[in-house]
């Protein structure tokens, strides 16, 4: 399998490479040398990923002449917090890390989000490398520069835009993923396909069996297609002032569900898939989307093993959490709604209609 390379080119002039393939961890230090003038490297990882890959990454960096440190977090969404961010800032300061430092995020989306946030805010910004080790992080959070931490009021309510200098997606790391993490990635790939267009959607429908079998060639193609689409979106709207809103498809419901269930109780991918189902049904009433599209999307999600969630959660609590969403403007909740593959709208939806559909969703699970 050959390594695939994509380049993100932002309107402001910032550019960086993404590589997807095998052996990228072994060559990571050389790539870091190419994109950063740093002499000191801090690898931020978690308690699950660290034991698998940290020693090899550190050894490679040391051979390349970096002074290397590592900081490990408890695995899980709870690490995306103000408390953990402050601990990391303090740790960097105690290590004497200055602008001669580079932070390397080795892990999934949580590690990438908190490490990116810390890199963006420590000393007003130091270099940052993404090394995603989950399918979800590879196809979504590792590129685009959005990072953040959670508050009691909602997910990702504090954050910045800070683009990485380089992204290395080594497919070897996928071999250790549990099924639940594959589901997370499949959900974001499905979201990307629906928003990108009919060709990607049809390709995904045609290749669900191969993806479920974890065929390396098919998985690499899915990652490349998802990242190519996201790179195009980010290049034209880095700070989510218009086009980039499309990437939030399924996320308004998903973020509310994650918060109400308790972070970590419902995985992000499962929540996004449920959010896509909810948005499609809401769109039938809100903007006249066809039932045919609802069925097509259901078939896609079902085919990927992303079946509807059966647990019931309070419609009132979900409604309340939705109004903490970043897409609320002037106390009006805007939903990203797909009309068919490749077409979408960001629309203000009548709160009473949202509440009706949330009640229907809850009642169907009681």
Q: Which of 150, 207, 248, 270 is catalytic?
A: 248
Q: Which of 191, 251, 281, 326 is catalytic?
A: 251
Under CATH, which number does the domain 179-363 receive? 1.20.1090.10
* CB contact set of 315 (below 8 Å; sequence gap of 6+): 355, 358, 359, 361, 362
Enter the tokens of residue 30: 């050389």
Q: How far is CA 236 from the centre of its chain?
A: 19
- pLDDT in 10s for each residue of the chain, 366 residues: 799 999 999 887 789 999 999 999 999 999 999 999 999 999 999 999 999 999 999 999 999 999 999 999 999 989 999 999 999 999 999 999 999 999 999 999 999 999 999 999 999 999 999 999 999 999 999 999 999 999 887 788 899 999 999 999 999 999 999 999 999 999 999 999 999 999 999 999 999 999 999 999 999 999 999 999 999 999 999 888 889 999 999 999 999 999 999 888 899 999 999 999 999 999 999 999 999 999 999 999 999 999 999 999 999 999 999 987 666 777 788 899 999 999 999 999 999 999 999 999 999 998
Let me know if 22 is a catalytic residue. no
Residue 204: half-sphere exposure toward Cβ, Cα within 13 Å: 32
Q: Which of 124, 241, 310, 311 is catalytic?
A: 124
Let me know if 146 is a catalytic residue. yes
364 SS3 class? coil
Which among 31, 186, 172, 49 has a CA at the least distance from the CA of 108? 49
User: Hey, do 4-176 and 179-363 end up sharing a CATH topology, with the first three levels equal?
Assistant: no
Q: Which of 19, 58, 268, 270 is catalytic?
A: 268
Let me know if 251 is a catalytic residue. yes
Domain ranges of the chain: 4-176, 179-363
104 SS3 class? strand
Q: Which of 188, 196, 245, 274 is catalytic?
A: 188
CA distance 340 to 329: 25
* CB contact set of 156 (below 8 Å; sequence gap of 6+): 80, 113, 146, 148, 149, 150, 255, 326
pLDDT of residue 326: 65
Q: Which of 191, 230, 277, 327 is catalytic?
A: 230
Q: Which of 19, 58, 80, 244 is catalytic?
A: 244
CA distance 268 to 98: 34
pLDDT tens for each residue of 17-29:
999 999 999 999 9
CA distance 165 to 151: 27
pLDDT tens for each residue of 328-337:
777 788 899 9
**Could you give the residue ranges of the DSSP H alpha helices within the chain?**
28-35, 50-63, 82-94, 109-121, 135-136, 179-196, 198-206, 208-212, 216-236, 251-261, 268-287, 291-303, 315-322, 351-363
pLDDT of residue 170: 98
Let me know if 310 is a catalytic residue. no
Let me know if 265 is a catalytic residue. no
First vs last Cα of the chain: how many Å apart? Answer: 48
For the entire predicted model, the pTM comes to 0.93
Write down how long the chain is.
366
Q: Which CATH class is domain 4-176?
A: alpha beta
DSSP, residue by residue, 229-293: HHHHHHHH-TT-SSGGGGGGTTHHHHHHHHHHH-BTTB-HHHHHHHHHHHHHHHHHHHH---HHH
Let me know if 240 is a catalytic residue. yes
pLDDT tens for each residue of 115-158:
999 999 999 999 999 999 999 999 999 999 999 999 887 788 89
Let me know if 236 is a catalytic residue. no
Let me know if 274 is a catalytic residue. no
Q: Which of 225, 255, 281, 321 is catalytic?
A: 255
Q: Which of 181, 196, 238, 240 is catalytic?
A: 240
* CA–CA distances in Å: residue 104 to residues 258, 274, 339: 27, 32, 39
Let me know if 230 is a catalytic residue. yes
CA distance 270 to 113: 19
């Amino acid at each position: 399998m050959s390594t695939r390379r994509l380049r993100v080119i932002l309107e402001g002039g910032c550019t960086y490479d993404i590589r997807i393939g095998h052996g990228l961890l072994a060559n990571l230090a050389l790539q870091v040398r190419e994109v950063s003038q740093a002499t000191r490297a801090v690898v931020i990882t978690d308690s699950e990923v660290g034991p698998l890959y940290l020693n090899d990454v550190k050894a490679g960096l040391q051979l390349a002449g970096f002074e290397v440190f590592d900081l490990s977090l408890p695995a899980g969404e709870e690490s995306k917090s103000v408390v953990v961010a402050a601990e990391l800032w303090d740790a960097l300061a105690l290590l004497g890390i200055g602008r001669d430092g580079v932070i390397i995020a080795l892990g999934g989306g949580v590690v990438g989000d908190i490490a990116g946030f810390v890199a963006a805010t420590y000393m007003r910004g130091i270099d940052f490398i993404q090394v995603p080790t989950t399918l979800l992080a590879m196809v979504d959070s590792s590129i685009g520069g959005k990072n953040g931490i959670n508050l009691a009021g909602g997910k990702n309510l504090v954050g910045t835009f800070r683009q990485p200098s380089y992204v290395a997606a080594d497919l070897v790391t996928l071999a250790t993923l549990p099924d639940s993490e594959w589901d997370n990635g499949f959900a974001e790939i499905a979201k990307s396909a629906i928003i990108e267009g009919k060709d990607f959607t049809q390709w995904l429908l045609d290749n669900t069996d191969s993806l479920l079998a974890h065929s390396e060639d098919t998985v690499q193609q899915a990652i490349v297609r998802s990242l190519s689409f996201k790179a195009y979106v980010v290049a034209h709207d880095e700070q989510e002032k218009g086009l980039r809103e499309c990437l939030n498809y399924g996320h308004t419901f998903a973020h509310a569900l994650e918060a109400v269930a308790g972070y970590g109780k419902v995985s992000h991918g499962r929540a996004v898939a449920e959010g896509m189902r909810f948005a499609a049904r809401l769109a039938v009433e809100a903007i006249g989307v066809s039932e045919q599209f609802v069925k097509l999307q259901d078939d896609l999600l079902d085919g990927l093993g992303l079946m509807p969630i059966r647990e019931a959660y309070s419609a009132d609590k979900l409604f309340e959490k939705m109004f903490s969403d970043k897409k609320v403007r002037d106390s009006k909740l805007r939903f990203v709604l797909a009309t068919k593959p490749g077409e979408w709208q960001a629309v203000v939806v009548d709160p009473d209609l949202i509440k009706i559909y949330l009640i229907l969703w809850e009642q169907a699970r009681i």
